[in-house]
Structure 1
Amino acid sequence: MNHSPSPTPTADGRAEAWLARLSSPECTSADRAAFEDWLAESEANVDAYLQAESVHALARRLASDDLLRAAARRARRNPAIDRRSVLRRFAMGAAIAATVVLAIGVIRRPKPPPTVPVGRYTTVVGEQRTVALEDGTAMRLDTATTVRVHFARDQRVVEVVQGRVQFTVGADAPHAASPRPFLVKAGSGTVRDIGTTFQVRHVDADVEVGLIEGVVQVTADATGTSDTLAPGEQVRIDAQGALQASQPFDLAVARAWTQGDLVFKERRLDQLIAEMNRYSATPLRLADPALGALTVSGVFHIDDQAALVAALEQGWGLKARRGGNGEIVLHKADR
């Protein structure tokens, strides 16, 4: 469907043009967002719109005014009646109403609403979810993850409260005058995107950022130090807020969890169990902590704990037994 163009921001008549556009059945969400941006430019724009709206409302009321309508009928029946007296009465009423509305506007001027309200997105244990934001950004939330989103007129901010998220950042909403910076807050770090795909993990007090495509700048807020990552690199901000040196980022492993798989390459068994436990309400536990030093390689689906246990029993000489509180305890198999 073709829509008529939005009002042109000329020096005069902008408030009246916006009033007409917003009243039109063809008004779009993009038009309303642009109108909010115009209001935010200055208080004068708010005053102008309030005045235009009040005059428009007054015109509707006067159209049903019995005395005015009677005067108009008399004027039509008797051409000798001075039509200017009718117009003067209408103009005087409009001026009085506009003055009253402007005075009220000074006292109770509404603040322009934000373009996008704060949003909160959460996944429970074992759940993964993709969220599409209005600027074209896609967020893939891992298990037990919480994020908060706030898009303002000058920037786009997402806070990773806990968990892990993959961001594929959009170019920004079509109505934005210029692309707003996309920032991710996590713990004591800030990630500034430059059109890319990256992952942020915030567990306990540690923050890890890994880059898949594009460029990101990671800053430790406490010290102001920063690092710009290239694809295949990751960086960590520790519990003390210090930015560590960048390390290689295994892209195959990084992409696997977004598809529901965990890829382990010569990793410690206790690390594998800790990772799998994030996806299950039935935790795995090692009877002897020394078993955690066993190295494991393989691909394990996040919601198939039974397959993992079977693989550990067959390939690593372990035996699973039910423990208290419904947990599964892994022991060294008896000879």
Structure 2
Amino acid sequence: MTTPTLNESVEQAAQWQARLHSDRCTAGDRERFAAWLEGDPVHRRAFELVSRIWEMDPRTLPDPDGARAGRSRSAAMRDTRRRVVLGAGVLFAGLVIGGRTADARLVSTGFGERKRIETQRFSLLLDARSAVALGPDDTDPDLRTGRFALTVKPGRSVVSLGCGDWRFSSRQGEFDIVSTGTRFSLTTVSGEASVVRKGREAHIVKAGDCLAATLPRGAGVVTRPALDLLLAWRTGRAIFRDTRLDVAVAEMARYSALPVRIENPALSALHVSGVFHTARPGGFFAALPYLLPLRVEQRDGAIRIVKL
């Protein structure tokens, strides 16, 4: 029998940790977890590591977020959501005063911050470091950069959004959208959407499908992603399964107050697995030296990932 590696076992342990914290965890799940835990000493080591990371106090990590006096990240995010839902009503009321003469408005979020925009036809949740431009009467949102959870409410009219040369429209459904400035993707969680690049044929993206393209003019490619990984950010988690280190670092850097640098390009091709709190990005960076042959340092105003 092949002995499992620590990195492989960490991925399994992270999945168990997430399952045990889920409201859907059953007695059968707990029995299977106990059997897995006793199945190999590496499993126990992996689960102990994942548990320490899961419960880790961000003030003990190389993470500046814990230094913000008097507020936890989660409390700040909750307050921000409350303020924005309330403030959105004032914003949208202001846009329609005096007819359609109001200027477009840019709504953005900083590190670790979320905002929700509510209108009669749609709800748009902005993840950290995201931005959207809203036109008069909220009729023409333009997604600039970041990650978004969009719910199109049932109705006769079509909701239409833009992202570079791409246009998206739907009458009803739930969608996950990412725009990095160089890449655009739209995943349909429920319902369906028509996605078209200027001057090209439309793609119909059905439930479970993801259309991704390189901006500004790359062709769209449709795939079937793992939705649990894709949507984990909505519940404050980042799930990595044999994910390239540069991709995982870019994901967690979204939630860090300090910039993150991979100092040695060869490290980018390493792979990492695990489940991490997005409200505690320091836990991710503290875990990396346990999982991969590298060091994590905080110096010169940045988190730096370097070779051993």
Q: Which one of 166, 171, 178 corresponds to residue 149 of structure 2?
A: 166
Q: Which structure has the larger Rg?
A: 1
- The 4+ residue runs of structure 1 with deviation greater than 6 A are none
User: 2: distance between equivalents of 1:328 and 1:146?
Assistant: 24
* Equivalent AA in structure 2 for residue 168 of structure 1: T
Cross-structure match for 1:75? none
* Deviations, residues 254-313 of structure 1 (Å, cap 9, x unaligned): 221122221111111111112211221212322321111111111122231221122112
Where do residues 178-193 of structure 1 align in structure 2 (5 Å cutoff)?
Answer: 179-193=156-170
Q: Which one of 177, 186, 210 corresponds to residue 209 of structure 1?
A: 186
Cross-structure match for 1:220? 197
Q: What TM-score do the two structures reach when normalised by structure 2?
A: 0.63
- Ranked by relative contact order (alpha carbons within 8 Å, sequence separation 6 or more), the top structure is 2
Structure 1 304/201 Cα, relative in aligned 2: closer, same or farther at 3 Å?
Answer: same
Cross-structure match for 2:3? none
Q: Which one of 228, 233, 246 corresponds to residue 222 of structure 2?
A: 246
Q: What TM-score do the two structures reach when normalised by structure 1?
A: 0.58
1:145 aligns with 2:130: yes
Aligned with 1:113: secondary structure? coil
CA contact under 8 A between 2:176 and 2:231: conserved in structure 1? no
* Equivalent AA in structure 1 for residue 141 of structure 2: V
Q: What's the % identity of the aligned pairs?
A: 24
User: 1: distance between equivalents of 2:107 and 2:303?
Assistant: 31
Q: C-alpha root-mean-square deviation of aligned residues, in Å?
A: 2.5
Where do residues 12-27 of structure 1 align in structure 2 (5 Å cutoff)?
Answer: none
How many residues in Structure 1 have an aligned counterpart in Structure 2?
A: 213
CA contact under 8 A between 2:134 and 2:142: conserved in structure 1? yes
Structure 1 115/304 Cα, relative in aligned 2: closer, same or farther at 3 Å?
Answer: same
User: 1: distance between equivalents of 2:189 and 2:233?
Assistant: 13
User: 1: distance between equivalents of 2:181 and 2:271?
Assistant: 25
Moved more, 264-273 or 163-172: 163-172
Aligned with 1:300: secondary structure? strand
* Equivalent AA in structure 2 for residue 263 of structure 1: I
Deviation at 1:199, TM superposition (A): 1.8
Q: Where does structure 1 lack aligned partners over 5 or more consecutive residues? A: 1-32, 37-111, 173-178
User: 1: distance between equivalents of 2:259 and 2:279?
Assistant: 12
Structure 1 237/293 Cα, relative in aligned 2: closer, same or farther at 3 Å?
Answer: closer
Aligned with 1:198: secondary structure? strand
User: 1: distance between equivalents of 2:286 and 2:213?
Assistant: 36
Aligned with 1:224: secondary structure? coil
Aligned with 1:252: secondary structure? helix
Q: Where does structure 2 lack aligned partners over 5 or more consecutive residues? A: 1-92
Aligned with 2:286: secondary structure? helix
Where do residues 320-335 of structure 1 align in structure 2 (5 Å cutoff)?
Answer: 320-324=296-300, 326-333=301-308
User: 2: distance between equivalents of 1:117 and 1:270?
Assistant: 38
1:121 aligns with 2:96: no
